Amino acid sequence: MTIKRYKIERDWGEGQVQLEIDHSILTPELAAEINEFWTGADERLDAADDNPVLAVIKIAGAEFMGWVLDANSSYSTESMQREFDQLEGWPSPHGIRLVGWDDRPDLDSSLMQVEEIEVPHG
């Protein structure tokens, strides 16, 4: 099967996205092209064990995660996908589809903690 799902998250626990990747479209060759478009391609490839597809899945995950963690936005899955599809550097088709996300930060003011701090004199 050429379509697989992946969960992308950070180790600090806020936010996660699930992406569906069509590997018949997002081939290693296309992934290498996408990765090379962005600054830091060699570092990303190293962090992905020289797997350009994994590197690109991580890039896409980070893009979607930015929208998920923007607690002041009202993005839906569909609107985030539309925004992603229009970004520079992502050819169409790219084989990446957002299928789910979770853990948007709760910014309810009643949950905020306030601490008075000293003002430095100088």
Band (pLDDT 50/70/90 cuts) for residue 108 is low
Band (pLDDT 50/70/90 cuts) for residue 103 is low
Single pTM value for the model: 0.82
The reported pLDDT for the residue numbered 116 is 74
Six token digits for residue 45: 């490839």
